[in-house]
Amino acid sequence: MAVSLMNKHLSSSNSSVPAGVVTGADYRTLLEACRAGGYALPAVNVTSSSMVNAVLEAASQSHSDVIIQVSHSGARFYGGNGLENTHNAAVFGALSMAHHVHLLAQSYGVAVVLHTDHANRPLIPWLDDLITHSARHHERTGRPLFSSHMLDLSAEPLDANIDTCADMLKRLAPLDIGLEIELGITGGEEDGIGHEFDEDSTENSHLYTQPEDVLKAWQRLNPLGMLSIAASFGNVHGVYKPGNVKLHPEILKDSQELVQKTAKTDHNPLHLVFHGGSGSEIDKIRQAISYGVFKMNLDTDTQFAYAHKVAAFIMEHQEAFEHQICPKTGKPFKKIYDPRAWLRKGELGVAERVKESFEILGSHGKSIAR
Residues 6+ apart with CB under 8 A from 173: 224, 225, 226
Question: Which residue's Cβ lies closest to Zn ion?
Answer: 275
Tell me the three state secondary structure of residue 343. Answer: helix
CB 21 within 8 A of CB 65: no
Judged by CB under 5 A, the chain residues 296 through 335 that form the site for Zn ion are none
| 208 secondary structure, DSSP code | B
Q: Which is nearer to Zn ion, 115 or 275 (CB)?
A: 275
Q: Which is nearer to Zn ion, 275 or 345 (CB)?
A: 275
**Which part of the chain contacts Zn ion (CB under 5 A), choosing from 195-203, 267-275, 287-295, 338-346?**
267-275
Which is the catalytic residue, given 65, 117, 254, 299?
117
Q: Report the alpha-carbon distance of residue 239 to residue 267 in Å, rounded.
A: 33
Rounded-to-integer distance, Cα 216 and Cα 158, Å: 9
- The nearer residue to Zn ion, 137 or 275, going by C-beta atoms, is 275
Q: At its nearest, how many Å lie between Zn ion and the CB of residue 295?
A: 11
Alpha helix (H) residue ranges in 276-338: 282-290, 300-316, 334-337
**In 3-state terms, what secondary structure has residue 78?**
helix
Q: Applying CB under 5 A, does 295 fall inside the site for Zn ion?
A: no
Helices (runs of H) and strands (runs of E) counted in the chain: 13, 11
HSE value, Cβ hemisphere, 13 Å, CA-based, for 65: 32
Segment contacting Zn ion by CB under 5 A, of 21-29, 38-46, 272-280, 362-370: 272-280
Q: What is the CA radius of gyration of the chain?
A: 21
Query: Whole-angstrom Cα distance, residue 73 to residue 81?
Result: 9
Under 8 Å CB-to-CB from 336, ≥6 apart: which residues? 317, 320, 321, 342
Q: Which is nearer to Zn ion, 43 or 110 (CB)?
A: 43
* Sole window of 59-67, 129-137, 210-218, 270-278 interacting with Zn ion (rule: CB under 5 A): 270-278
Cβ of 214: how many Cβ atoms within 10 Å?
A: 23
Q: Minimum Å distance from CB 82 to Zn ion? A: 27
Number of residues this chain uses to bind Zn ion (CB under 5 A): 1
Residue 146: CA count within 13 A, CB half-sphere: 30
Evaluate whether 169 touches 159 at the Cβ level (below 8 Å): no
Instruction: Give the nearest distance from C-beta 117 to Zn ion in angstroms.
Output: 6
By beta-carbon proximity to Zn ion, the closer residue of 149 and 275 is: 275
Nearer to Zn ion, 189 or 212 (CB): 189
What b-and-e string marks burial along 129-166, b requiring 16 or more CB atoms within 10 Å of the CB? bbbebbeebbeeeebbbbbbbbbbbbeeebeebbebbb
Q: Count of residues for the chain? A: 370
Which residue from 351, 275, 297, 348 is spatially nearest to 67, judged by alpha carbons?
A: 297
> Which of the ranges 125-133, 219-227, 273-281, 282-290 carries the binding residues for Zn ion, by CB under 5 A?
273-281
Cβ-based nearer residue to Zn ion, 143 or 275: 275
Q: Pick from 248, 275, 286, 295: which binds Zn ion (CB under 5 A)?
A: 275
Active site residue 213: no
- Mark the segment that binds Zn ion (CB under 5 A) among 2-10, 21-29, 106-114, 275-283: 275-283
Q: How far is the CB of 217 from Zn ion (least distance, A)?
A: 17
Shortest Cβ 43–Zn ion spacing (Å): 9
> Least separation, in Å, of the C-beta of 307 and Zn ion?
20
Binding mask 219-258 for Zn ion (x = CB under 5 A): ----------------------------------------
Least CB distance from residue 100 to Zn ion, whole Å? 22
Active site residues: 117
Residues at the interface with Zn ion (CB under 5 A) = 275
